[in-house]
Amino acid sequence: MAYTETELAEELENSKYKYGFTSKFDTDRVEKGLNEDIIRQISSKKNEPEWLLEFRLEAYRNWRKMKEPKWAHVKYEKPKFDEITYFAAPQPKKKLDSLDEVDPELKEMYDKLGISIEEQKKLAGVAMDVVVDSVSVQTTFKDKLEEKGIIFCSFSEAVQNYPDLVKKYMGKVVPPNDNFYAALNSAVFTDGSFCYIPKGVKCPMELSTYFRINEAGTGQFERTLIVAEDNSYVSYLEGCTAPMRDENQLHAAVVEIIAMDDAEVKYSTVQNWYPGDKDGKGGVYNFVTKRGLCDGRNSKISWTQVETGSAVTWKYPSCILKGDNSEGEFYSVAVTNNYQNADTGTKMIHLGKNTRSLIISKGISAGFSENSYRGLVQINKNAKNARNFSQCDSLLIGDKCGAHTFPYIETKNNSSKVEHEATTSKIGEDQIFYCQQRGMDEEQAVSLIVNGYVKEVLNKLPMEFAVEAKKLLEITLEGSVG
């Protein structure tokens, strides 16, 4: 029996109920299933221009012809695309009066993560006005950004307010017929974020969907578009370390980044969606298409991801290094436990001269999970003097899990240098022994060693994020020792 979205919703519903949540399904939804009418409905509900509807329909027609990819090293029940409700207006959650009403399990995790009381309240949907007026905080940020000419808003707003920009760049990096899930997203995406950094502007703060968590209600088909004009800089954070109890089983997001001459975009993700229970039942499918285009000379795109959640992850943040001297980076920590499956990695497509790319991937598998690195480094004919270095390490905790490495390294000219190395091993008994000798218990020892192992990647995260991510790893791996 396939585990359906309804069951997941029910389960979450029940578990929430157990701890005193009440949440009602909102009625503003389109019917289940997918056809052109539904897409027209979504488009009209969102009051979209004609060209965007055409974009959706074309994507949908392409999607109909496509087959679900099977090559990834993951096991899962195929989602039933007819069972999904593709549009639901954000549900007004019941505001809780105090933190005491929050699910103790969630609360415990917040505490472990060291999330501040204010943030905890916000995340759990506790009314904030008593302590901090989050809206005013947000507004301060918005004013500051507007001053600089930076556009940072939800995708729907962007479609209404900046249609020219959206039309110009949307689908440029991830065309609507790119792959099965990108096509699906292009047809039915509901919202997401839009970010535009004008020429010569360095964004003064880390942009984060975090700030918009309530207003966005991002939904399962999220679409993000980041455009960095000449000589600009932005650091963008997606997701958060707190566990997100999402009701949607299938997540198919698309992220597009365009970096012009001398621009730099840093994109960091921390993903901690519901991974299913200890027996592998349920959990979120995370099928994401993320791609950045280094369009201009000397441009740079850097992806950093910490993946701990989701039952199935299928995600390859990529860089197309088109501009001469452009640079792509990929730092990843992927942790799987219990019955989680992850097939993740990157693609570095070198087209321009003197392009450089760096891949650092750290996989950790525990329990009965499967964790694969799959990456492509392609140096094309004209990418003279291109340079790549890849390091993909896997750590196994327990003898029932799997760690795999599938790199594809294609070199088509003789002036480039490409290096790849990968190792797979477990935590050395001598290392644990050493730590135990100094008074740590085994779990602490493992946590210490794991932290050292992923340090290279965590260092790339913005400070606050890194601290939380570190703790998140500890929590994910809890109970995997012994």
Residues in contact with other proteins by CB under 8 A are 71, 379, 381, 394, 396-426
Of 188 and 418, which CB lies nearer to other proteins in the complex structure? 418
Of 71 and 147, which CB lies nearer to other proteins in the complex structure? 71
Sign of CA dihedral 441, 446, 447, 453: positive
Least distance (Å) from other proteins to the CB of residue 361?
Answer: 13
Taking the C-alpha atoms of residue 91 and residue 65, their distance in angstroms, rounded to an integer, is 33
Of 198 and 407, which CB lies nearer to other proteins in the complex structure? 407
Read off the tokens for 281: 């039942």
Q: Identify the DSSP state of 273.
A: B
Taking the C-alpha atoms of residue 284 and residue 274, their distance in angstroms, rounded to an integer, is 6
Distance (Å) of CA 371 to CA 39, 65, 79, 398, 462: 35, 30, 21, 13, 25
Using CA atoms of 339, 453, 329, 206 in order, give the dihedral in degrees to the nearest 10. Answer: 90
CB 244 within 8 A of CB 209: no
Taking the C-alpha atoms of residue 166 and residue 58, their distance in angstroms, rounded to an integer, is 17
Least distance (Å) from other proteins to the CB of residue 381?
Answer: 7
Least distance (Å) from other proteins to the CB of residue 156?
Answer: 39
Least distance (Å) from other proteins to the CB of residue 62?
Answer: 19
Of 141 and 406, which CB lies nearer to other proteins in the complex structure? 406
Instruction: Give the number of other CB atoms < 10 A from CB of residue 428.
Output: 10
Q: How far is CA 93 from the centre of its chain?
A: 24
- Tell me which amino acid residue 455 is: K
Least distance (Å) from other proteins to the CB of residue 366?
Answer: 9
Instruction: Give the number of other CB atoms < 10 A from CB of residue 463.
Output: 9
CB 288 within 8 A of CB 253: yes
Of 409 and 448, which CB lies nearer to other proteins in the complex structure? 409
Least distance (Å) from other proteins to the CB of residue 403?
Answer: 5
Of 301 and 403, which CB lies nearer to other proteins in the complex structure? 403
Least distance (Å) from other proteins to the CB of residue 232?
Answer: 34
- Tell me which amino acid residue 139 is: T
Helix (H, G, I), strand (E, B), or coil: what is residue 183? helix
Taking the C-alpha atoms of residue 440 and residue 427, their distance in angstroms, rounded to an integer, is 15
The CB-side HSE value for 69 (13 A sphere, CA atoms) comes to 17
Least distance (Å) from other proteins to the CB of residue 400?
Answer: 7
Instruction: Give the number of other CB atoms < 10 A from CB of residue 121.
Output: 23
Least distance (Å) from other proteins to the CB of residue 367?
Answer: 11
Q: SS3 breakdown of the chain: % helix, strand, coil, rounded to 5?
A: 30, 30, 40
Of 134 and 424, which CB lies nearer to other proteins in the complex structure? 424
Helix (H, G, I), strand (E, B), or coil: what is residue 18? helix
CB 83 within 8 A of CB 199: no
Q: Judging by DSSP bridges, how do beta strands 191-197 and 151-154 pair with one another?
A: antiparallel
CB 339 within 8 A of CB 276: yes
Taking the C-alpha atoms of residue 162 and residue 194, their distance in angstroms, rounded to an integer, is 10
Least distance (Å) from other proteins to the CB of residue 373?
Answer: 9
Of 230 and 370, which CB lies nearer to other proteins in the complex structure? 370
Of 36 and 443, which CB lies nearer to other proteins in the complex structure? 443
Of 199 and 384, which CB lies nearer to other proteins in the complex structure? 384
Helix (H, G, I), strand (E, B), or coil: what is residue 468? helix
Read off the tokens for 432: 């644990």
Least distance (Å) from other proteins to the CB of residue 344?
Answer: 15
Of 382 and 459, which CB lies nearer to other proteins in the complex structure? 382
Least distance (Å) from other proteins to the CB of residue 216?
Answer: 39
Of 143 and 399, which CB lies nearer to other proteins in the complex structure? 399
Q: How far is CA 4 from the centre of its chain?
A: 23
